[in-house]
Structure 1
């Protein structure tokens, strides 16, 4: 009986590239060691592997590539022209791997690693610099990558692995995140200094129902809080301008373009008056969030512990 031999399955270009990476990667350091010594026994001693294992690995490497990389004379070998070309690329690749390994080790160093930390724009001028200053008293060599953004954008970067921790508001509630409430911050109704309400110290938010508001854009946590508080006070705010940053809104208020619900400024702004809102209770909760199940490097764990220790004493009021 004659059996027809089936032809081998053909890999797509992407599958072929992935397959070759899996085949070649474990053998590249072996190849570089043999090429450096031009002697299998000495290379095996340096690499800490049996000579037979190293010899088989080089034969398989040549078979997988379909190219002779060495000429052999006993246990002494020398590179072919193809072997020399291949070695140059292998050394570059191994160098990149070594540099990448050094980089991630440095980032995880307990005393001098790196923390990728996200926070809201309103916390950038005072709160975050003070937090980092206080943390670095005991961890002077820890480095930070700082990202300012609005809440939803930071959460996405957290999920993408671009951030280790973020300070955000409202405190997120999602199954893939861990979030801890740290503090709350009173919001104030900010009006121009020549406004009809500017002589007041306190106000019920319902008294501003007929005012024009300037707010952050939809998607910002403070915008959601503003809309919710106004709804609780019995009205929907009439919005004239939408921005991306709280201090810009204060400038619009100072110019007489509307009123705004904002957290207190780091530095008092001329041209505006900030009124305490007595009803409803106008606050925003601020918390720290991280990706559930994501392992912390020692510097990230240390900074997380530090933030949690500041619970109730994080924000100026």
Structure 2
């Protein structure tokens, strides 16, 4: 049994399609088929059920895949631990980003000013098949529900209601969410964590939001508000802070509208030194953002004191 055979097996198991797996591995399909058959012969069992051109992982394949993934992960951890023992601060960090992509350029550029030899492999399209072995660290808006994952809260941010400057409520400092039950909302699409959370706010306030625009891009949401096309929920920090003079952010008195930004990592695998360095930097960076936001909101509350 060879390491290359195991890596090929994992890819074929992922696709359950020999041609697509061969394309991913950039080898000829007959050569890949031969490698898998050689592996099965050495194990004494078939790992896939074959039905014409279709293949499917069977019970032996599923059991073997679990152990192979553990073995390959252990080997990768060993290589990264050896890199750390060399005493040099360099390497690659696998960073998954589910929320706060607007903050990512500032975070990474600030970090790389101090650590220019550390690079990043970014995962920004989080699918249901993602596991803890696919990243070193993950920034999300709720704790990840993955096996062997732990997390720390980076910050808790207020979620405002944003209205165009001409809106009937624009001169208010705060509102109850029930006051806008008949308004047209600009929202993220279903499946986004923020959308699920803001829908729950509306449900608590006794209504379902009337959606007139759906988008998966925060910049588009902001642009539509500025164009007077509706109102929307805007996270105070992770959506970029300043919104300009063409919209107003209103504090929501009821219900309390906040969300937490979390940093997660797996406790079942070795976390490289570069990832540990970045973890501490990220915690400090978000703490500074939270403090700046708190000071900004305090300033706004003083400026708007006495506003009807």
Which TM-score bucket, shorter chain as reference?
Answer: 0.5 to 0.7
Q: Give the aligned partner of residue 289 of structure 1.
A: 264
Which blocks of at least 5 consecutive residues in structure 2 are unaligned?
A: 1-32, 44-75, 294-308
Would the aligned equivalents of 1:167 and 1:289 in 2 still touch at CA under 8 Å? yes
Q: Give the aligned partner of residue 302 of structure 1.
A: 277
Would the aligned equivalents of 2:81 and 2:272 in 1 still touch at CA under 8 Å? no
Give the direction of change, closer, same or farther, for the CA distance of 1:283–1:105 in structure 2 (3 Å limit). Answer: closer
Would the aligned equivalents of 1:181 and 1:311 in 2 still touch at CA under 8 Å? no
Q: Give the aligned partner of residue 38 of structure 2.
A: 17
- How many Å separate the matches in 2 of 1:172 and 1:105? 24
- Which of 96, 101, 119 is residue 124 of structure 1 equivalent to? 101
Q: Return the index of the structure with the highest Cα Rg.
A: 1
Q: Give the aligned partner of residue 162 of structure 2.
A: 190
Give the direction of change, closer, same or farther, for the CA distance of 1:287–1:256 in structure 2 (3 Å limit). Answer: same
- How many Å separate the matches in 1 of 2:281 and 2:193? 24
Give the direction of change, closer, same or farther, for the CA distance of 1:184–1:251 in structure 2 (3 Å limit). Answer: same
- How many Å separate the matches in 2 of 1:187 and 1:120? 17
Deviation at 1:132, TM superposition (A): 2.6
* TM-score scaled by length of structure 1: 0.60
Would the aligned equivalents of 1:254 and 1:271 in 2 still touch at CA under 8 Å? yes
- How many Å separate the matches in 2 of 1:140 and 1:111? 10
Deviation at 1:260, TM superposition (A): 0.6
Query: 1:114 aligned to 2:83?
Result: no
1:231-266 CA distances to partner (integer Å, 9 max, x unpaired)? 222222111221112121111222232211111334
Q: Give the aligned partner of residue 112 of structure 2.
A: 136
Q: Give the aligned partner of residue 219 of structure 2.
A: 247
State how many pairs are aligned: 221
Give the direction of change, closer, same or farther, for the CA distance of 1:188–1:15 in structure 2 (3 Å limit). Answer: closer
Query: 1:209 aligned to 2:202?
Result: no
- Which of 124, 127, 136 is residue 148 of structure 1 equivalent to? 124
- How many Å separate the matches in 1 of 2:160 and 2:206? 18
Give the direction of change, closer, same or farther, for the CA distance of 1:183–1:162 in structure 2 (3 Å limit). Answer: same
- How many Å separate the matches in 1 of 2:244 and 2:123? 25
Would the aligned equivalents of 2:190 and 2:196 in 1 still touch at CA under 8 Å? yes
- How many Å separate the matches in 2 of 1:138 and 1:252? 38
- How many Å separate the matches in 2 of 1:156 and 1:306? 28
- How many Å separate the matches in 2 of 1:302 and 1:189? 36
User: After alignment, is 170-179 or 188-197 more displaced?
Assistant: 170-179
* TM-score scaled by length of structure 2: 0.62
User: What stretches of structure 1 move > 4 A for 4+ residues in a row?
Assistant: 12-15, 19-22, 104-110
Which blocks of at least 5 consecutive residues in structure 1 are unaligned?
A: 1-11, 23-100
Would the aligned equivalents of 2:161 and 2:249 in 1 still touch at CA under 8 Å? yes
- How many Å separate the matches in 1 of 2:128 and 2:141? 11
